[in-house]
Structure 1
Amino acid sequence: MNLLLDLGNTRLKWTLAEGARVRGAVGALAWDTPDFESRLDAALAALPPPRAVHMAVVAAAAREAQVLACVRRVLRIEPRAQHSVATLCGVHSAYREPARLGIDRLLGMVAARGAGHAPCVLASLGTALTLDALDAAGRHRGGLIVASPALMQQALLGAAARVSVQSVGRVVWMADTTEDALSSGAWLAAAALVERFSEESAQALDAQPRLLLAGGDAPRLQALVRGASQLFPDAVLRGLAIAADAQRDAD
């Protein structure tokens, strides 16, 4: 059994996998959790002993160092980091420099293809909103990165001296408060981008893609996006399970 670690921008997630499939419950710790390392030590100690530890990292180097220290201390195993490459488990990166494609995006597409969802658009909403188009043959056709609705609002509040909010706004089409206008503008812009990207992808893929929504804020985004969509939780961990299993076979 493998232990899988997803080191995101705001939190660490982990689960166990047998072969190419996630088998255990998903645990999570936010990076700003008090006593982060001691709590992670306890969580790792409570797991069945894994055969190997695989991780996907988009977090800062200091966060990665924290996790490495905990894994080495508790499990006595050296984790293996998955890096972005030109081709991974049947997914062919569109990037001119494949190593620069975020490993979270690549693994999300590996998971989508492994689940039989290609051709698809994968929209993942966390710190950023990322959009990727994947054709039926596993070719990544490209994608977009934009600030998440939360980050959009933070950026505007930080740059506009006379714009301030007293509470979290609602999402409505005709806002009559600054709070609602700011929240609505950010969330509806994100939803509109997802819809437009899906439309453009249909032409590029020469097929109507399935729209998959991943990331912590995916349920809220789904409520705003018109048309059919499917929640695709834990995409990075699911893709990492497939990649780790393929790596074992190669070894």
Structure 2
Amino acid sequence: MKLFVDMGNSRVKWRLRGRDTVLEGEGAIGSDSLFADLPVDDEGIRQVAVSTVASDQGRQQLEQRLREITRVPPEYFWTESQWQGVICAYDKPESMGSDRWHAMVAAHSRVTGGFAVVDAGSAVTVDYVAADGRHLGGYILAGQNMMYRALSQDAARIHFGGRIQGDSAPGSSTAECVHHGVEWLWRGMVQQLREDVRTLGLEKVFITGGDSDRLIGCGLQGESVPGLVLDGLEIVAAGVRED
């Protein structure tokens, strides 16, 4: 069996691929329950492939949990200058989050034309790729929870509670001003995305990440692929093994 791990800033998603089965799960970084529901039969795990943007501490916590279920050391797959036709726009590819890279590799395998990848996690990342595989660059923005946390922690006199979703009209209370304001920003981001996709002549938009439904609710049209990063990690890990 092969274990593929997508480790973000706060959550870990995993996929266990056996001969005839594919199982998936997720959990919090540092949680004792991470991988607790991962079934390992007598065949055992032969490969552990990891895509991560986590800190060194997060990686150490991951490796500690992995040692409890397998003796196979994890292989980390980072962003490269190019992979099977996808060409990174960064001068220093290794400085780009591997989750973005693996999502682009997966998206490239699904479409013949240009595309956008939007990953709505703790942060929101947007990447544009031309039909010839050239990465045209992208954006990194604060995710919704990060926005709320910043307003709560860094602005002492802004007090709000609960969640008000789906409305961007001017607010008449502090809570409405905050929640509607975040919605207003996200709808603006979606509008800019639409304009970019049209201007660049991109064929498709792929949406992934824990807050993808919220983006879709703000009007972003595209294909939702929850496991896009894991899909790309599988492609890259398989290619390395073949070499």
Tell me if both proteins adopt one fold, taking TM over 0.5 as the criterion. Answer: yes
Aligned residues: 241
Structure 1 stretches lacking a partner, 5+ long: none
Match of 1:167 in 2: 162
Q: 1:86-105 counterparts in 2 under 5 A?
A: 86-105=81-100
- Letter of the structure 1 residue corresponding to residue 173 of structure 2: T
Match of 2:79 in 1: 84
Match of 1:237 in 2: 230
Runs in 1 of length 4+ with deviation above 6 angstroms?
none
| Partner secondary structure for residue 165 of structure 2 | coil
Q: Name the CA distance, whole Å, in 1 between partners of 2:149 and 2:182.
A: 10
- Letter of the structure 1 residue corresponding to residue 12 of structure 2: L
Q: Name the stretch that deviates more: 183-192 or 86-95.
A: 183-192
State the superposition RMSD in angstroms.
2.2
Output one character per residue of 1:174-207: Cα deviation in whole Å (capped at 9) or x when no partner: 233322221221133123213313422433x3x2
CA contact (8 A) 1:121 1:198 kept: no
CA contact (8 A) 1:125 1:218 kept: yes
Match of 1:120 in 2: 115
Q: Name the CA distance, whole Å, in 1 between partners of 2:16 and 2:73.
A: 16
Tell me the TM-score normalised to structure 2 length: 0.90
**Residue number among 30, 34, 48 corresponding to 2:28 in the alignment:** 30
Output one character per residue of 1:144-199: Cα deviation in whole Å (capped at 9) or x when no partner: 00101221122122222211013222331323332222122113312321331342
Structure with larger RCO (C-alpha < 8 A, sep 6+): 1
Match of 2:13 in 1: 13
Match of 1:249 in 2: 242
- Report the CA distance shift for 1:216/1:248 in structure 2 as closer, same or farther (over 3 A): same
Q: CA deviation at 1:23?
A: 5.5
Structure 2 stretches lacking a partner, 5+ long: none
Tell me the TM-score normalised to structure 1 length: 0.87
Q: Name the CA distance, whole Å, in 2 between partners of 1:23 and 1:92.
A: 32
Structure with higher helix content: 1
Match of 1:139 in 2: 134
Q: Name the CA distance, whole Å, in 2 between partners of 1:90 and 1:50.
A: 30
Q: 1:216-235 counterparts in 2 under 5 A?
A: 216-225=210-219, 228-235=221-228
CA contact (8 A) 2:28 2:34 kept: no
- Report the CA distance shift for 1:106/1:41 in structure 2 as closer, same or farther (over 3 A): closer
% same residue: 29
Q: Name the stretch that deviates more: 144-153 or 178-187.
A: 178-187
- Report the CA distance shift for 1:158/1:41 in structure 2 as closer, same or farther (over 3 A): closer
